[in-house]
Amino acid sequence: MSAYRTINPATGEMLEEHPVVDDAAVEDILARSAEAFSTFRRLPLEERTSVLRRAAALHRERIDELAEILTVEMGKPITQARGEVTLVASIYEYYADNAARFLAEENLDIVGGGEARVRTEPIGPLLGVMPWNYPYYQVARFAAPNLALGNTIILKHARNCPRSALAIETLLRDAGLPRAAYINAFVDSRQVATIVSDDRVRGVSLTGSEKAGAAVGEIAGRHMKKYVLELGGSDPFIVLDDADIDAAVAAAVTGRYANGGQACTASKRFIVVEPVYEEFTRKFIAAVSAIAAGDPMDPTTFLGPLSSAAAGDELDEIVRDAVDRGATLHSAPGARRSGAFYPPSVLTEVTSDMRAFEEELFGPTAVVYRVPSPQAAVQLANASPYGLSSSVFTRNAEQAATIARQLEAGMVWINSTSKSAPDLPFGGVKRSGVGRELGRFGIDEFANKKLVRILEPLG
């Protein structure tokens, strides 16, 4: 696909198209971002945070318009789309409220005379490469802290959500952000490499696939650029024998099938100990079977289409591979509907020779495993190249703490699935990425922690 296109996944209708910019435009973007940084970084912090506060307000004021864009562009059910817009508003507001505290000079307790302070300062223009599954949220968790800090941003969004990309740029300008402090860039992968390599760009943040992250990280490393990579996940959902099974099932349905299962932090591998395996699996399959895909514009719809028909085909290949190798498919797919609808389903009896054992299933299909003990559950949970988020369902606080320590993951949730919040750090280990976003950690990733050492008293 050589252009950026809005294609309604529910109908297959192409609604608009934007060409990739030429190389002269890329040079102009780089020059404008660098020039803007020289002045934007010197704006009083109160002026930068006032823009973020206004951006939060505009998200709330425009919630209907913004949510509809998500639904039309990538199929997110309208109620969930409104939830994303609300979350984004809270992220901008969080950094508006807390940036002064995060960026305050820190006096160090040092050995020897004099003083030592650490200043937190911006480093320069940044490139953000963002995905389609949460078009506003993914941008906000990168943009909000860095705009508060004083970095400028060049944003390359996914090719299938140009309408979302333009809506973000328009909203930030309407909030009072200087025009070149945030620049939307309809560029291709070759031009991304050019931007990352350019000396004027000081860092890059990518949320997306492992393949894309490896490519961008390699270029950034070669050019000595800081990078943050938020990549895939195959998040385990562990159910122990003392868990509230009904609560676990309800959480499992939401954690796996919200947003069509198209989330890196979606629960994907359900690891259930033997004593409660039959009960959990029976109730889970029944609940999944009751999910009916519907019109994403209907406020009562929980499951809409995937982002594209191609996304459904990719998921189906993994499911078919598992079935062909002996796995059992529950809630059988039946006929694929027009557009990108994929029926919710559950796989059991998945083994290590199947693609579903190791690959990320990005859609409404869950894998349920039976294990003999909590320790076996941890071992299976860690037998993945990914380490993003995880969930543990148990009534035993001591056991929960023990398992949380043992899990190879960036985030562990006890009796809950992963939920994003502005004040909670987000990120993973292993092939799930490098770095953290949100909370106070998010504002430090692309910052110069400058030491100021004073050996003799001043004044």
Most confident of 278-287, 307-316, 333-342: 278-287
Contact between 132 and 161 under an 8 Å Cβ cutoff? The reply is: yes
Contact between 84 and 419 under an 8 Å Cβ cutoff? The reply is: no
Tell me the per-residue pLDDT of 370-427, one tens digit each, with 9 for 90 and over: 999 999 999 999 999 999 999 999 999 999 999 999 999 999 999 999 999 999 999 9
- Active-site positions read 230, 264
Give the separation between CA 147 and CA 168, rounded to whole angstroms. 14
Break the chain into its structural domains and give their ranges. 3-231+432-454, 235-414
Q: If pLDDT is split at 50, 70 and 90, which confidence band does 331 have?
A: confident
pLDDT score for 442: 97
Residue 233 has pLDDT above 60, yes or no: yes
| Tokens coding 253 | 């349905």
Helix (H, G, I), strand (E, B) or coil at 54: helix
Tell me the per-residue pLDDT of 214-224, one tens digit each, with 9 for 90 and over: 999 999 999 99
Give the separation between CA 190 and CA 440, rounded to whole angstroms. 33
| Crossing angle of the two packed helices 245-257 and 274-289, in degrees rounded to 10 | 50
Give the separation between CA 122 and CA 145, rounded to whole angstroms. 11
- Between CA 52 and CA 56, with CA 53 as vertex, the angle to 5 degrees is 85
Tell me the per-residue pLDDT of 422-456, one tens digit each, with 9 for 90 and over: 999 999 999 999 999 999 999 999 999 999 999 87
Q: In b/e form, how buried is each residue of 134-159, taking b as 16+ CB within 10 angstroms?
A: bbbbbbbbbbbbbbbbbbbbbbbbbb
Residue 333 has pLDDT above 90, yes or no: no
Domains 3-231+432-454 and 235-414 belong to one CATH topology: no
Q: Give the mean pLDDT of 281-294.
A: 94
Q: Give the mean pLDDT of 151-167.
A: 98
Contact between 428 and 387 under an 8 Å Cβ cutoff? The reply is: yes
Q: Give the mean pLDDT of 320-347.
A: 82
DSSP tag of 337: P
pLDDT score for 204: 98
Q: If pLDDT is split at 50, 70 and 90, which confidence band does 209 have?
A: very high
Tell me the CB-side half-sphere exposure of residue 79, using CA atoms within 13 A. Answer: 11
Across all residues in the chain, what is the average pLDDT? 95
Residue 61 has pLDDT above 70, yes or no: yes
Q: Which residues pair with 153 in a beta bridge?
A: 126, 182
Strands 126-129 and 115-122: unpaired
- Could you tell me the pTM of the whole model? 0.95
Give the separation between CA 331 and CA 288, rounded to whole angstroms. 7
CB proximity list for 81: less than 8 A, separation 6 or greater: 66, 67, 68, 70, 71
Q: If pLDDT is split at 50, 70 and 90, which confidence band does 339 have?
A: low
Q: Give the mean pLDDT of 240-261.
A: 97
Contact between 291 and 260 under an 8 Å Cβ cutoff? The reply is: no
Q: Give the mean pLDDT of 248-267.
A: 97
| Tokens coding 307 | 């982002």
Q: If pLDDT is split at 50, 70 and 90, which confidence band does 2 have?
A: confident
Phi/psi at 262 (5° precision): -95, 70
Q: In terms of CATH, what superfamily is 235-414? A: Aldehyde Dehydrogenase; Chain A, domain 2 (3.40.309.10)
Tell me the per-residue pLDDT of 13-53, one tens digit each, with 9 for 90 and over: 999 999 999 999 999 999 999 999 999 999 999 999 999 99
Burial of 115 (0-12, 13-18, 19+ CB in 10 A): middle
pLDDT score for 448: 98
Residue found under tokens 């300062």:
121
CB proximity list for 204: less than 8 A, separation 6 or greater: 126, 127, 128, 129, 196, 216, 220, 225, 226, 227, 228
pLDDT score for 112: 85
Give the separation between CA 115 and CA 107, rounded to whole angstroms. 8
pLDDT score for 379: 98
Q: Give the mean pLDDT of 277-301.
A: 96
Q: Is the dihedral of CA 212, 10, 314, 236 positive or negative?
A: positive
Q: Does domain 3-231+432-454 have CATH number 3.40.190.170?
A: no
* Range 325-334 contact pairs with CB under 8 angstroms and sequence separation of 24 or more: 325/351, 325/353, 325/354, 326/351, 327/351, 327/354, 327/356, 330/285, 330/288, 330/289, 331/285, 331/288, 331/289
Of all residues in the chain, the percent with pLDDT exceeding 70 is 97
Tell me the per-residue pLDDT of 137-150, one tens digit each, with 9 for 90 and over: 999 999 999 999 99
| Tokens coding 38 | 């020289």
Residue type, 32: R
Give the separation between CA 369 and CA 280, rounded to whole angstroms. 11
pLDDT score for 336: 57
Contact between 178 and 19 under an 8 Å Cβ cutoff? The reply is: no
